[in-house]
Amino acid sequence: MEEGEGLNPKLAPNNGIQIKNIKKNQIGKGKRVVKQMDVDREMGIPFQEEIIMDILSRLPVQSLLRFKCVSKPWKKLISEPYFTRMHLSHGKNNQNSQRFLICQEKPKGGMVSCYHASLPSIELVEDVQKLDCPSDFKPWFFVIFCCFDGLSLITVGSYHDLICLLWNPFTRESVVLPRPEFPPKEDFICGLGYDSTTDDYKILKIDMDRNHNCGVPNEILSLKNGSWSKIDEHPSGISYVVNARSSLAFVHGAFHWLGYSRNYSMISFSISNEVYGEIPLPERMCLVQRHNEFDVSVLEGMLCVYSADTDTERQYTFKSWLMKDYGVKESWTELITIQDNGISLATPKYRFTNGEVLLRCVDAKGRIVFMTSKGPFGSWPRFDIAEDGFVITESLISPKLLM
Chain segment 168-221, per-residue pLDDT in tens = 999 999 999 999 887 766 678 889 999 999 999 999 988 776 555 556 677 999
Mean pLDDT, residues 380-394 taken together: 72
Q: What is the mean pLDDT of the chain?
A: 77
pLDDT category of residue 334 using cuts at 50, 70 and 90: very high
Q: What is the pLDDT of residue 66?
A: 93
Higher pLDDT, 382 or 161: 161
Q: Which of 281, 169, 177 is nearest to 224 (CA)?
A: 177
Listed ranges 58-62, 96-100, 377-381, 385-389; the one with the highest mean pLDDT: 58-62
pLDDT at 254: 96
- Give tens-digit pLDDT for 45-103: 445 778 888 899 999 999 999 999 988 888 998 999 999 999 999 999 888 888 888 87
Average pLDDT value for residue range 220-231:
93
Q: State pLDDT tens for residues 234-262.
A: 777 666 665 555 678 999 999 998 876 66
Instruction: Provide mean pLDDT across the span 392-397.
Output: 95
Spell out the domains of the chain, with CATH numbers in brackets: 1-79 (no CATH), 95-401 (2.120.10.80)
Q: How far apart are CA 71 and CA 17, in angstroms?
A: 8
Cβ contact 211:220 at 8 Å: no
Task: Work out the percent of the chain whose per-residue pLDDT is above 90.
Answer: 31
pLDDT at 137: 75
Q: Is the pLDDT of residue 366 over 90?
A: no
Neighbouring residues of 313: CB distance < 8 A, sequence distance ≥ 6: none
Three-state SS annotation for 213-239: CEEEEEEEEECCCCEEEECCCCCCCCE
pLDDT for 396: 96
23 pLDDT exceeds 50? no
pLDDT for position 14: 40
How deeply is 49 buried, as exposed, middle or buried, from its count of CB atoms within 10 A (0-12, 13-18, 19+)?
A: middle
**pLDDT tens-digit series, residues 290-331:** 445 678 899 999 999 988 777 666 677 888 999 999 999 999
Q: Evaluate if residue 39 carries a pLDDT over 50.
A: no
pLDDT at res. 314: 67
Q: What pLDDT, on a 0 to 100 scale, did the predictor assign at position 393?
A: 95
